[in-house]
């Protein structure tokens, strides 16, 4: 779990950057959930539409990992610290400029 100290390193204002999860790489290991000081992520069952976008190999990988995926329901709260990018063992997260 993240702490107030972690939030101190996330001092950029929210709304500039958002995390983008590569659904082809994510293995729902939850590191992003655990490190994010702002509770941006949620790991849950993959949406049917996202599952349909995966290749056959991607579908098999996703099934092996419990048909789960990291989502960003609170992306607007992202402060752009990059902790999730560093923590993801699959290198599945990038920060992108918010629109």
Give min distance, CB of 11 to ligand SF4, in A.
Answer: 10
Residues numbered 6 to 25 that lie near ligand SF4 (CB under 6 A) are 10, 19
Q: Phi, psi (5° rounding) for residue 32?
A: -65, -40
CA distance 58 to 62: 6
At 70, give phi and psi (nearest 5°).
Answer: -85, 130
Closest CB 3 distance from ligand SF4, rounded Å: 13
Q: How many Cα atoms within 13 Å fall on the side-chain side of residue 59? A: 8
Residue 12 Cβ, how far from ligand SF4 at the closest point, in Å?
Answer: 9
- The token pair that represents 11 in the structure block: 């001092």
Residue from 59, 65, 82, 90 touching ligand SF4 (CB under 6 A): that is: 82
Q: Does 80 bind ligand SF4 (CB under 6 A)?
A: yes
* Contacting positions for ligand SF4 (CB under 6 A): 10, 19, 35-38, 40, 78-84, 95
């Amino acid at each position: 779990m993240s702490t107030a100290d972690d939030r101190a390193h996330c001092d950029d204002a929210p709304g500039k950057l958002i995390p983008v999860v590569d659904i082809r790489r994510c293995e729902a290991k939850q590191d992003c959930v655990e490190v994010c000081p702002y509770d941006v992520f949620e790991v849950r069952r993959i949406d049917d539409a996202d599952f349909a976008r995966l290749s056959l190999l991607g579908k098999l990988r996703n099934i092996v990992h419990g048909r789960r995926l990291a989502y960003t329901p609170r992306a607007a709260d992202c402060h752009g610290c990059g902790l999730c990018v560093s923590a993801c063992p699959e290198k599945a997260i990038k920060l992108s400029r918010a629109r």
